[in-house]
Structure 1
């Protein structure tokens, strides 16, 4: 039995999303154009509009992102911070979608909302499964996000040399203890 052939519209949508993610990552939301994305996908701009309706609709589809977090509850409690920082550095290094979303979130309210939703839903749920006091889970997840997003902004958007040039293992060694404290340290009174 063979798999059914990929429909042409599925292939076109995939090409548009791939081109959009790359273009948004390279140019940011404001400078990326439907025309440039269509050229990158080797299709007519009207096809982008047909499938996504607008630049905003295309960005929303391109910004769908699964953080693919490891199952934190399966890890030793004292290694969760390190695992999270390593995981996020691997994701940022290998996927321009998060970089594009981060860059765009600083100037576009829709992108900022998308980033909030991704981190609140995905990271928030993962942290909630690991903390002793569920009442502190959202705060702890937010603080972890502040470190992860701050690191990413500094390394991939601003490209501050001491951080942008650092080896990932060194960054993990610096940042993981702070993330670990947010996750397992006592809550302030």
Structure 2
């Protein structure tokens, strides 16, 4: 056995724990998810979860480290920002919603203040800079970013968590056009 094999096994175990934790937190929320259930989902002993992540709060923090991976908006024409952002979010969510930290945060934020705080931070740190591109006034940019968040989080809630039939069944193209127009107005329209 080479020195790199234990490191690879450790990385594989960590990744498996995070996948199981994201899925469990997404399904059960922070309050109901347990270390035992996450360990069972990962096919390991609960002590291994504790060894790698310390406790449930630290595991949750690692599992919901949400990077929106927003596109660089500097190269996007101003009148296409709304549709571009909506298309980006839909592409992320349509891949594997159970592995998306943002959806996991959204599910947990309603019942856990730490999750709500993390979700606010994600939008403050990652969406607000997009709004700054269209408004030099910090208060106006913050309001625009907040309004964009209402649409994106509302869309995620209705499509992936509540599975509201008309929204869950809509094509991504329809959502990009319809929700994109609202996001565009929030970004560039009069307030």
Of stretches 155-164 and 131-140 in structure 1, the one that deviates more from structure 2 is: 131-140
1:13-162 matches, within 5 Å, as: 13-94=14-95, 95-96=97-98, 97=100, 98-128=102-132, 130-135=133-138, 136-162=140-166
Structural RMSD (CA) = 1.6
CA deviations 1:95-130 (Å, max 9, x no partner) are: 4232221111111111111111111101112332x2
Shift of 1:54: 1.6
CA distance in 1, matches of 2:63, 2:76: 31
Work out whether 1:179 is the aligned partner of 2:179.
no
Shift of 1:42: 1.6
CA distance in 1, matches of 2:61, 2:16: 16
Aligned pair count reads 183
> TM-score when scaled to structure 2?
0.89
Gaps of 5+ in 2: none
Any conservation in 2 of the 1:103–1:157 contact (CA below 8 Å)?
yes
Gaps of 5+ in 1: none
Shift of 1:169: 1.0
2:66 match: secondary structure: coil
CA distance in 2, matches of 1:15, 1:22: 11
Shift of 1:6: 6.8
Shift of 1:174: 1.3
CA distance in 2, matches of 1:6, 1:137: 48
CA distance in 1, matches of 2:166, 2:31: 28
> TM-score when scaled to structure 1?
0.90
1:14 match: secondary structure: helix
CA distance in 1, matches of 2:5, 2:81: 42
